[in-house]
Structure 1
Amino acid sequence: TSQEIATALNVSAADVRVRTGNGSATVEVFPERVTVPEAANGSGNVSTAEFARALQSAGLEASTGDINEGVTEATYETAVNTLENKVSESGLAGGTVRTVQSAGERYIQIEVPNQNRSEVRELVATQGRVTTVAYFPTAGNGTPEYCEDDAWTNATSNGTVPEGYCSVTVLQSQEAFGSIQPVTQDAGVPYVPVTLTDEAAGPFVESMRRYGFADRANTSTCQFEGSRTGHCLLTVVDERVVFAAGIEGPRGGRPGLAQSFASGDFENDPSYRTSAPNVSEAQQLQIDLRAGALPARLNLDAGTSQFILPSLAQKFKTFSLVTGLVAVLAVAVTVFIRYRDPRVAAPMVVTALSEVFILLGFAAAIGLALDLSGAAAATTIVAMSPLAVLSLGDLQGFAIVTIVGVLIGVLITRPAYGNVLRRLVTEG
């Protein structure tokens, strides 16, 4: 159904989402946004009337009155999960992603500590849709029906595609990959080792055989960057070709991919290497493969971004230190007034400072950013075991810091304080 709707709207099938259940279907289209009919002249826009006709042509009962602007709750959840994966896979510790409401509009809020605005914006600006496209020559006159016009419409523009060549998307998305390994290099060329899922391996091999990639004569013939000729597998990210490579032939006594396609061995071990022009793009490719693709591009211009200057953050550190010392001294004064003995108050100050020092050291060791929830945990030191087990977003980080603080206090600092106090009092 999604392919029928995409064809009727002249958009990519990846820009159409269909969810069914309870005898009904929810269909979303993301070329840009669904607009009123008179605003549907821009590139990528789909009018409500066009959308309704496309739904009807796919056998769905729908009218313009059934169509609403915006995205569904499921799409918001998918976007938040994907962005969380992007932040996590890129190694940015302490980042949070959530939806917020402002002035009646719903936004996705992304917070990443210790990173500048441009780096975070670059990370989330792209949709991150990764496809694999087979590029190959065709025999005879005319273009076969299975050839695609938009497999990589925004590819590098240098050169032209020769007549008699065809592009077909053989892996539609990251969901085809079951395993993505870290970036590795071979003879200076960075690549990402990947393994297809069992569901994707069979159709992929069939496509490779159908389009001539299982023929040894077509191995290592790819000249995509130069003459745009040969049998090439294109790695395409957001419709841009990031790398083109031919099918590897036999090497070092090992059968190549072409032979494994022909013999069927590839289905038993559907692993190969997808390359990139440099390490930076290979790492970004790995992030996109592991994180998945956003259901639609983010409209960063419609939101706002804030950045705390390092100089201002340095002032926060100073003020936090002063506040912490004042709090410790206030506790010590209170204890002194209660017991009237400096031998009780002095160890209290040392114990409190040690507890905070150990707690901050733990947070730094695991890369845990102390935001408001972490600071509250360091201050209150209240056991929150249930929250540490349940996946409740920021509350989980709050609970972890709190529990560690309790353990440090109960098992290390408080017993030490008791021993010091006992010795001072008994010796006095």
Structure 2
Amino acid sequence: MWAYSECIWTAGKRRRGSDAQMSKLKQLLKNWKVLLVLITVILGMIIISPNPFRKGAAIRSVVENSPAYNAGLRSPEPNALPMSKEVITQVNNQKVYSANDYYQITKQLIPGTNVRLVTNKKEYIIYIPESNESAQPELGIRVYDAPTSNIRKGLDLQGGTRVILRPQENATPEQIDMTIDSMNERLNVYGLSDVTISKVSDLQGRQYIVVEIAGAYEEEVRDLIAKQGNFEAKIQNKTIFSGGNDIIRVCKTADCSGIDPTKGCAADSNGIWYCRFRFTVTLSQAAAKRQAEATVNLSVVYEPGGSEQYLNESLELYLDGQNVDTLRIGSELKGQPVTDIAISGSGSGRTMNEARENALANMKRLQTILVTGSLPVRLEIEETSSISPTLGEKFLRNTAVTFLVAIVGVGAVLFIFYGRIKISALIMVTGLTEIFLTVSFLTLLGWNIDLAAIAGLLAAVGSNVDDQIVMADEELYEAKEEKKKLSWKEKIKNAFYIITGNYLTSVASVLPMLFAGAGLLKGFAITTITGLTIGILITRPAFADVIEIMMKKE
């Protein structure tokens, strides 16, 4: 009888324990702080879009006027998400699983034949001319292993070249901005898409320009940067003016550039808005004379569907031998040696604001092209560094292994210290969540994850784990009698005072790194601040509620 009663009592105790666990789970699922963490994790998954099984060769760039370019392939946009880039999956019915597969297959291609190239977006038929003797791959495509997520890897992890340039001492911020625009325009002409050009400064206030090109070698980047842009404007293949002495001034001030006040913005019958821009350019007397001689015998034609008059030939703009734009010539310039000419164009959009922004962007691009013949300031190469793709892969693998060892080690120490698997597991899960959310946020910002960013990530998570230990200690181990009388809310409140102070101190300590080392430590500072902020605003409040629910009645 006694044994039977004991069995009933044991079974009842197990049911009550199971009911208690279910009750705690329901409390967690109803807690808004926990739900906030779950929602941000889901959003992070959408942002990163991980796909570890993705295969193929992603297109890094397409050389202009190459066989692939002529077949319709284009370089991806500079700021395109990694997972949105076009990926080659087949070449002449041969499967492509990696960049190495692509290069091995294209080595066997024969000039004078058609190549069938299949991507995840389209199928192309590319003809390889008999006379193709380019040093580039025969198709003119540069590829890399297809990315498996939207996380942007820095040069440390994917390979490439970084060059730090120092402008002349008296360069103004406007001149440096103009120089960056000119360099972007020039590098885009060469079909390079994974290019980052940024302006940074050190703690002494000295200005630098940092150029990072993924997948490029040091000699190649040095040649591109050292090469002065060759700008020419032609009519009927005759050079009218070029960059340098022919262009005296390109107006960028509000009094002579911007949205054309006589044309403004208007919507067509389909609801698409168009805005006209206008800016002036001052030419030398010699360039004005060449323009008059080239246009004196041209005919005047009317704009189709409009009343504006233009000459029957256009002004073709060339940058380093590549046609980058075409402009109509107003009839009033026919045979006239005018030094002050107006350049006009348009931009379109679904709304007036969008059309206005696009018009101004197009205007800025034209202004940049016109001054690209010679950079606004003299640049000196301060430092160059190059990392091979193979070494970048080793860095990534070693970092992953080190991180894994650190996670296991911290988890073991926590388990030994607390003797409770729930507490150590909760702290580790919270730490991993903070890492994921931080990387997701940096991906959303378009920030590259490099070694400096990884160091900042580990520093932030380490600080956050310390805060979680403080909170766990407040809840579990109270040595003083007066603290034993405090409620869990008061204990967590006390812990948050400590955590907030730690957060402010940590943020203040890394702020100088935003400017140290010519900005190369900025990744460490931004990642650390982001990780600490996510911890104190999102994961830490949820951790406090979860540990209170888990430890209640234990």
Which bin holds the TM-score, normalised by the shorter protein?
A: 0.3 to 0.5
Based on CA coordinates, which of the two structures has the bigger radius of gyration? Answer: 2
Greater relative contact order structure (CA < 8 Å, 6+ sep):
2
Higher strand share: 2
The TM-score, its normalising length taken from structure 1, stands at: 0.47
The TM-score, its normalising length taken from structure 2, stands at: 0.38
